[in-house]
């Protein structure tokens, strides 16, 4: 028995009938087991991520597009009807009239500031609609202290929708809300 041969024919050194490495050299160990293909898990994960990105892009495009009423108007505080000279009521023209109420709601208590935007929309059109609008909060000096965009989706014809959204305002005193743009479009 030479110095490079394993002692006693131990099975872990291989059987004697097999071709072996030249004396003094070891054969490389067998490679790791082959990984299974990832297949459907990766496919569904990637498809899901792509779908989310597409939905976000569509939402941004829809909100950003359309006819824009860029002149700031004060937010409504009451019903959208006005008295005529004969005492009859008439409905204000345009989709902006669907925003019945848009105001600040001060829910602060125990020294903790908690101011929310609240709104009421009634769909006066004959089809399911989505509403988007931009707003600003202006203090008594005319300085904009906060602004944002709101979205109310899938409001059925004749349906009233109420919504709310938190703000970072510290007080409602002297704050005026202005609608800087308003848009209604059909939901499908």
Residue 17 falls within a domain, yes or no? no
Residue 16 inside a domain? The answer is no
Residue at token pair 């014809």: 157
**Token pair for residue 12?**
């872990």
% of residues, the chain, pLDDT over 90: 46
DSSP string, 111-172: TB--EEEEEEEE--SSS-EEEEEEEEEE-TTS-EEEEEEEEEEEEPTT-EEEEEEE---S--
How confident is the model over 44-97, as pLDDT tens digits?
777 777 778 887 877 777 676 654 545 555 555 544 444 333 333 334 457 888
- Looking at residue 138, which CATH number applies to its domain? 2.60.40
Contact in structure between 184 and 122 (CB atoms under 8 Å):
no
Q: How many domains does the chain have?
A: 1
At 92 the pLDDT is 45
pLDDT in the model for residue 95: 84
Residues whose CB falls within 8 Å of the CB of residue 57, separated by 6 or more in sequence, listed in order: none
Q: Residue 4: inside a domain, yes or no?
A: no
List pLDDT tens digits, range 132-168. 999 999 999 999 999 999 999 999 999 999 999 999 9
pLDDT confidence of residue 72: 55
- pTM, 2 dp: 0.51
Structure tokens at 130: 């989505």
What tens digit of pLDDT does each residue of 88-122 get? 333 445 788 899 999 999 999 999 999 999 999 99
- Whether 133 is in a domain gets the answer yes
In a domain, 85, yes or no: no
Q: How far apart are the first and last CA of the chain?
A: 86
Establish if 122 belongs to a structural domain: yes
Average pLDDT taken over every residue of the chain: 76
Residue 23 lies in a domain: no
pLDDT score for 151: 94
Beta bridge partners of 186: 129
Domain that holds residue 138: 73-79+93-186
172 pLDDT exceeds 50? Answer: yes
Question: Residue 2: which pLDDT band, with cuts at 50, 70 and 90?
Answer: low
Long-range CB contacts (within 8 A, 24+) of 67-71: 67/183, 68/181, 68/183, 69/96, 69/181, 69/182, 69/183, 70/180, 70/181
30 domain-assigned = no
């Amino acid at each position: 028995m030479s110095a490079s041969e394993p002692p006693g024919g131990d099975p872990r050194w291989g059987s004697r009938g097999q071709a072996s490495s030249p004396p003094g050299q070891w054969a490389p160990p067998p490679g790791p087991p082959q990984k299974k293909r990832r297949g459907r898990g990766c496919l569904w994960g990637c498809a899901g991520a792509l779908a989310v990105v597409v939905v976000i892009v569509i939402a941004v495009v829809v909100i950003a597009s359309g006819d824009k009423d860029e002149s700031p108007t004060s937010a409504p505080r009451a019903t959208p009807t006005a008295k005529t000279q004969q005492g009859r009521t008439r409905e204000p023209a345009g989709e902006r009239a669907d925003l019945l109420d848009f105001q600040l709601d001060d829910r602060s208590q125990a020294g903790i500031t908690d101011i929310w935007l609240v709104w009421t929309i009634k769909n006066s059109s004959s089809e399911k609609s989505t509403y988007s609008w931009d707003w600003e909060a202006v203090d008594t000096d005319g300085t904009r202290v906060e602004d944002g965009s709101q979205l109310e989706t899938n409001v059925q014809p004749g349906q009233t929708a109420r919504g709310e959204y938190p703000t970072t305002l510290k007080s409602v005193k002297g704050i005026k809300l202005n609608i800087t743009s308003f848009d209604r479009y059909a939901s499908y």
